[in-house]
Amino acid sequence: MSVKTGSKPGLKTGAKTGVKTRSTAIVLLCAALTFGCTTTGYFELPPGSEIEIYERPAVTPDSSGMIEMKPFFWTAAGGVPYKLKKNGEVVKEGRLPARFRVVSIFWPPLALIYWPIGFNSDQTNDLTQ
């Protein structure tokens, strides 16, 4: 009776297969971290003003009006609180539209608990009026 050892026919083994799989996993992890840990909103602000969102440091949108930041806790479900500031003084305050981030379901348990709310990126928040 003889015993065969070795790999099955058609099964690739070796260092190249492991490296390719590892590289793919690293790329997917980086993409997930990039897209899973931020929320993006679009804004129109009066000239010379900046916006403080969810009691975080004041920011100014880039040239396209985009602001990207960490998502928000459940307390922002009714709207993300903001303060529009000009020369350090509050000019306007209110709540920005928010929505549930479906991606937070796939980041258990922390994302669903701590970061389930994000900007509604389907619209531009016009705060010029």
- pLDDT means per 10 residues, the chain with 129 residues, are 54 58 71 67 96 96 95 94 96 96 74 83 93
Write down the pLDDT at residue 22: 79
Write down the pLDDT at residue 98: 95
Write down the pLDDT at residue 62: 95
Q: Which of 87, 79, 93 is nearest to 127 (CA)?
A: 93
For residue 31, what are the contacts with CB-CB under 8 A and spacing of at least 6?
Answer: none
State how far the Cα of 94 lies from the Cα of 82, in Å rounded to an integer: 6
Write down the pLDDT at residue 114: 76
Order across the sheet with 80-86: list the strands: 49-53, 80-86, 89-96
Write down the pLDDT at residue 16: 58
Write down the pLDDT at residue 38: 87
Write down the pLDDT at residue 81: 97
Write down the pLDDT at residue 64: 95
Write down the pLDDT at residue 85: 97
Write down the pLDDT at residue 51: 97
